[in-house]
Every structure is written in structure tokens, then in C-alpha cells.
Amino acid sequence: MPSILEDAALVVIDVQNDFCAGGALAVPDGDAVVPAANRLIEAFQVVILTQDWHPPGHASFASAHSGAEPFSMTEMPYGPQVLWPDHCVQGTEGAAFHPDLDTRRARLVLRKGTDPAIDSYSAFFENDRVSVTGLAGALSDLGVEHVVLAGLATDYCVCWSALDARALGLNVSLVEDACRAIDMDGSLASAMTNMLQAGVRLTNSDAVLFG
């Protein structure tokens, strides 16, 4: 049986400056994912990095809605939406990958959230649940049927990516020590429950690297 390192793709979700210490939407302890992610990147043959890449004035920004506070909720045509602080604006330092993340071995860099009217948590679908990012097609072209997920944040972009990957019929492993969560109003516990119920396998980087 082939090693997970040989038959799976590593997908590293949104390890960007705005989600790390000092960033506009910093995930608590977000920088801690970088060493674990780098260890995994070194070992996998197929590495894919995702990047939140919003145009200025994106509809998911609280600043785009008069009187709205960051982290409040609004209703979009596609459903409920958290209004975030401005973050990961295209071409800004905040949108850049964390400077210590090893990006050299990436087979693909996938940018999401580029539609000014639709947010995109998942690496597979935008939040309207119809618009695709192209990741599923890329994985199919590469012959990948198993994805290993790391990055930020466990309870939003990582979780949505994991659930979509399972819905698409992929095997999914979540590397817990290579992820960190926002954990807003119980969102982490809910995300973990949903992922486990969907058949996502929880693991850690040592288990992935050394079996």
C-alpha cells in the first residue's frame, strides 16, 4: 500500500500575513502552523497552497456595509455571511504568504474570494455553493483522491474545504497540529463535530510523516 505521502495531495489553506500575528484578522497562535506546514510540504509530492485574495471593498468586509461592525452578521443573496475586517486585499502585504512558509514546492497556488460579491471559505467552492474554484478539477487531473489539510482557520476555511472534499468523494485527513482556529461562539467544536460526522480523519504531522 502506498504511503500517504505518495498518493495524497497536501493542501495548505490561507497561511497569510493577515491571518497571523499582527494581521488584520489574526487567528490566535496562527503563526504556529508554519513549522508544521513546512515539515509536511517538504515530504509531499503534490503541494497546493490557497490564498484569500479579495478585491478592495469586498462584500464580506464590514467596511462595505454602512454602520456594520466587524464580526456581525448580514444576509447575502447566497445566505448568512459574517462581516469581517478588511483582510487579504489583493496585492497587499496582508495577502502575502507568511514569510517563513516554504512556497517553493507548490504545484499550484489557488486564489479564492476574488469575486467582489461572494465570499469564499472553501478551497473548492465559493460561498454561493455553485461557483467552483477549479481545485477539484486540478486534483482529478493529478489523479489525487486523498487530500491532507493544514492551515487557517480550522473552523472556517479548513473546515469548509474538508466538508466539500468529502462531498466530492475525496478521502480527507486533517492535520490538527498544523491548523489553528478562530473559535468564535463555539465555532471550533461545531466544525470538529461536522467534520467527524462527514468522515474526515483527524491526525497529526508525526503520524503523517512517520506512519
Residues annotated catalytic, as ranges: 14, 112, 157
Sign of CA dihedral 11, 105, 180, 203: positive
Sign of the alpha-carbon dihedral angle for 204, 184, 166, 137:
negative
Nearest to 189 by CA among 164, 163, 165, 154: 154
β pairing state of 73-76 and 79-82: antiparallel
What is the C-alpha to C-alpha distance for residues 16 and 200, in angstroms, rounded to an integer?
24
In 3D, which of 148, 112, 104 has the Cα closest to residue 133?
Answer: 112
**Whole-angstrom Cα distance, residue 156 to residue 187?**
8
Q: How many helices (H) and strands (E) does the chain have?
A: 6, 8
What is the grid cell recorded at 87? 483582510
Spatial separation of the C-alpha atoms in residues 157 and 38, rounded to whole Å = 19
- Strands (E) across 14-59 are located at 46-52
